[in-house]
Chains A and B, each alone.
Chain A
Amino acid sequence: MPVRLPHIAPSSATLRRVNKRVHEVRDPVHVFVHFDDDERAVIDSKPFQRLRNVHQLALTYLVYPGASHKRFEHSLGVMELAGRIYDTVTRDDKRSDAVRDVFPSPKDQGYWRTVVRTAALCHDLGHLPFSHAAEDELLPAGVDHERITWEILQTEMKSVFDDLVPPMKPELIGKLALGPRKAEKLGLQLEFDPWEAILAEIIVGDAFGADRMDYLLRDSLHTGATYGRFDHHRLIDTLRVMPSAPREEGDSETSTEPTLGCERGGLQSAEALLLARYFMFSQVYYHPTRLAYNEHLKDFLVAWLPERRFPADPAAHLSRDDNDVLRAIKLAARDAGAPGHTPARRIVDRDHFKVAYVRSPDGRDLVRHGASPSRGTAPDFPVFERDGTSVSALGLSDVFGKLPTSPDEYVLADSSIRGELEQWLKREREQILDAALAAQSEENDEQEEGNA
């Protein structure tokens, strides 16, 4: 951070209640990020500072050299955007009568603004070293980075939240930081009232979430893949809380819950966001060489970590970041007898697997499968028409319905066997597909009979 911030004594709660100071740091995406004393206390906490040493895009910098940015600045950016969205949608001129009741009273607006920005700051605290890479195989069963985020908020961050003015409940911050999708996945049995659902959408929503906006803009900037850019200023300026679009003929606005939507003038910006995501998935997030490095990193971690997994305990989690792993990779690459030597050497020497199209029936050490998830279809959201009605975006946009949704899939292999694999594919491809289909049917039939 280029700006040196003034020191705040821990005992200054009374002073902060009267006049919270505003700080600012420069940011390559948002120019400036502003925050007050309370938000600074969160930023200065150990769990948040750890994010300085967690790469946003894992080893992608070995493919896109500029992509060495960290979760730290992304989290600041999500806070900044969440604040901007909150300020926009709570403006008085944006509140139509149909949704006026959902907003908190004016005296509580400042509190909720801090809540949503704090939750935005904290949404990534549980990330493992190198972020998403191979998380499923590197944590105990049933644990993922969202679970760790939740645990950190309830333990390590509790004293920080207690000291804010006014204090904040870790459960509320966690609820908004994770959002309903992750809460469902974690089985947390949380219930979102309409206002909380809107605040969670501001942070992690599929259509306009600040998390999604920031990572696309930031990853695009740092990779140099300009596909990720879109007019987020225009998009944010057109956001508003509004009734959901009618879900069927006869469905009226009075029967629907308020949700986050955009005005008609922002529809093209929303389309551009979706296109940006589509291109970034293809060009960056699931670039086959990145997938290959993920595999090598996972192989190294499995060999290097005690018990072959990261601990789920928050304190142990916070003691480890990318720097520890990078040092271990460097040492293991030099020592042929070290655990994880081979994958470490592949990373250091850039001797990564290459795309080979198909899975080989054997030779696991030389072949891996890499795939993006299904991209999913465009999210539907309401569009605010000039006459004040809510309209389904899918009925207005030609773009949303036409993007490919299928995942990209690769088989990655060591260079030494690529030629052999390609020949094998030419000979066997049709038989492989037929056998896979037949096996799936038989498997299902057997399971059905077994369940009957």
Chain B
Amino acid sequence: MNRLAQDAVLAGLVRRLRDADSWGGETHIQKAAYLLRELRGVPFTFDFILYKHGPFSFELRDELMTMQSDRLIEREPQRPPYGPQLHVTERGRALERRMRGTMSRYGRDLDWVAGWLGDRGVADLERLATAMWMTRNSGGSAHQRAAQVTAVKPHIELADALAAVGEIDSLLEANVT
């Protein structure tokens, strides 16, 4: 995907997540984009690294910042103590409309991820994305992968990690791509 097409998809992702009652902060976009790439093959060009709160891409962060500079999305500060939410501007909507081919190609993927994750909390997203990371990069049984999740993210309980690995396995078995 070239940059404008990617920005249109990201704008579509932000908008759909917010429409699906997601808080829609940067963490939500990071995890949703990672899971979209891994589970649906959406060809984002970003590299991800296992970092804070699971898989994270500095390139994606930079692109979101650039989209703010280009007035495609806005960052809306929230009342303390909460982190900001992202919001698609009218200019961002215009970009989505302009990139008709791109949006029709990936629209179903975006609808799918928003339907899956829209009402999930950010802690859930962290567990799912980290479970996905371990599945892709480490392998092993469900219990082994869950143990790896808790090893790198000690604040995640083993039972929650196991549930997340199980959910990822179910999606992969169902061949959601």
Give me the interface of A with B, judged by CB distance under 8 Å.
Answer: 101, 180-181, 183-185, 187, 189-194, 197, 244-251, 254-257, 259, 374-377, 380, 385, 389-392, 394-396, 401, 405-407, 440-441, 443-445, 447-449, 452
Min distance, Cβ A261 to any Cβ of chain B, angstroms? 12
Interface centre among A248, A256, A375, A449 (most CB of B within 10 A): A248
Tell which of A180, A244, A445 touches B49, judged by Cβ atoms closer than 8 Å. A180
Give the residues from 24 to 82 in chain B that come closer than 8 angstroms, CB to CB, to chain A.
25-28, 47-53, 56-59, 62, 65-66, 68-69, 75, 77-82
**Chain B: CB-nearest residue to A190:** B49
Min distance, Cβ A320 to any Cβ of chain B, angstroms? 30
**Chain A: CB-nearest residue to B121:** A250
Tell which of A184, A245, A392 touches B48, judged by Cβ atoms closer than 8 Å. A184
Inter-chain contacts of B65 with A (CB < 8 A)? 374, 376-377, 405
Knowing that A257-B52, A443-B2, A449-B101 are A-B contacts, what are 9 other residue pairs whose CB atoms are under 8 Å apart, sorted by A's residue number? A244-B52, A248-B121, A251-B121, A377-B65, A392-B78, A440-B4, A447-B2, A448-B99, A452-B105
**Chain B: CB-nearest residue to A395:** B80
B83 in contact with A245 (CB, 8 Å) = yes
**Chain B: CB-nearest residue to A398:** B77
Question: Mind listing 12 A-B residue pairs with CB under 8 Å?
Answer: A184-B57, A246-B81, A247-B25, A247-B28, A248-B121, A374-B65, A374-B66, A392-B81, A396-B80, A401-B77, A444-B5, A452-B101
Give the residues from 76 to 116 in chain B that come closer than 8 angstroms, CB to CB, to chain A.
77-84, 98-99, 101-102, 105
* A245-B82 contact given A374-B65, A405-B68, CB 8 Å threshold: yes
A255 in contact with B123 (CB, 8 Å) = yes
Q: CA of A183 to CA of B56 in the docked complex: distance in angstroms? A: 12
Min distance, Cβ B11 to any Cβ of chain A, angstroms? 14
* A248-B152 contact given A395-B82, A401-B75, A405-B68, CB 8 Å threshold: no
Q: CA of A443 to CA of B99 in the docked complex: distance in angstroms? A: 11
B77 in contact with A395 (CB, 8 Å) = yes
* A184-B79 contact given A197-B51, A255-B155, A449-B101, CB 8 Å threshold: no
A444 in contact with B154 (CB, 8 Å) = no
* A248-B82 contact given A180-B51, A447-B2, CB 8 Å threshold: yes
* A394-B25 contact given A192-B50, A248-B83, CB 8 Å threshold: no
Nearest first, the 6 closest Cβ-Cβ pairs linking A and B are A248-B23, A391-B81, A448-B101, A255-B123, A376-B65, A184-B49
Q: CA of A88 to CA of B57 in the docked complex: distance in angstroms? A: 29
Interface of B is mostly: mixed
- Does B122 touch A at the CB level, under 8 Å? yes
A193 in contact with B152 (CB, 8 Å) = yes
Inter-chain contacts of B75 with A (CB < 8 A)? 377, 394, 401
Q: CA of A232 to CA of B129 in the docked complex: distance in angstroms? A: 37
Min distance, Cβ B53 to any Cβ of chain A, angstroms? 6
Q: CA of A447 to CA of B50 in the docked complex: distance in angstroms? A: 32
A390 in contact with B69 (CB, 8 Å) = no
Inter-chain contacts of B28 with A (CB < 8 A)? 247-248
B58 in contact with A184 (CB, 8 Å) = yes
**Chain B: CB-nearest residue to A401:** B77
A380 in contact with B84 (CB, 8 Å) = yes
- Range of interface residues on chain B? 35 or more
Inter-chain contacts of B57 with A (CB < 8 A)? 184
Inter-chain contacts of B50 with A (CB < 8 A)? 191-192
B83 in contact with A192 (CB, 8 Å) = no
B81 in contact with A395 (CB, 8 Å) = yes
**Chain A: CB-nearest residue to B75:** A377
A248 in contact with B122 (CB, 8 Å) = yes
Inter-chain contacts of A194 with B (CB < 8 A)? 154
B47 in contact with A187 (CB, 8 Å) = yes
**Chain B: CB-nearest residue to A259:** B52
* A197-B52 contact given A184-B58, A394-B83, A406-B69, CB 8 Å threshold: yes
Tell which of B5, B81, B121, B153 touches A448, judged by Cβ atoms closer than 8 Å. B5
Q: CA of A257 to CA of B81 in the docked complex: distance in angstroms? A: 16
Inter-chain contacts of A374 with B (CB < 8 A)? 62, 65-66, 69
* A245-B5 contact given A377-B65, A401-B75, CB 8 Å threshold: no
Q: CA of A180 to CA of B28 in the docked complex: distance in angstroms? A: 19
Min distance, Cβ A382 to any Cβ of chain B, angstroms? 8
Inter-chain contacts of B4 with A (CB < 8 A)? 440, 444
Contact with A along B141-156 (1 / 0, CB 8 A): 0000000000011110
Inter-chain contacts of A257 with B (CB < 8 A)? 52-53, 153, 155
Inter-chain contacts of A396 with B (CB < 8 A)? 80
Min distance, Cβ B66 to any Cβ of chain A, angstroms? 5
A389 in contact with B47 (CB, 8 Å) = no
Inter-chain contacts of A190 with B (CB < 8 A)? 49
Q: CA of A254 to CA of B102 in the docked complex: distance in angstroms? A: 40
* A441-B98 contact given A392-B81, A405-B68, CB 8 Å threshold: yes
Q: CA of A385 to CA of B81 in the docked complex: distance in angstroms? A: 10
Inter-chain contacts of B123 with A (CB < 8 A)? 251, 255
Inter-chain contacts of B69 with A (CB < 8 A)? 374-377, 405-407
Interface centre among B52, B58, B101 (most CB of A within 10 A): B52
A395 in contact with B79 (CB, 8 Å) = yes
Min distance, Cβ A288 to any Cβ of chain B, angstroms? 20
Q: CA of A377 to CA of B71 in the docked complex: distance in angstroms? A: 12
Min distance, Cβ A59 to any Cβ of chain B, angstroms? 27
Inter-chain contacts of B25 with A (CB < 8 A)? 247-248
Q: CA of A2 to CA of B66 in the docked complex: distance in angstroms? A: 45
B83 in contact with A249 (CB, 8 Å) = no
Min distance, Cβ B134 to any Cβ of chain A, angstroms? 10
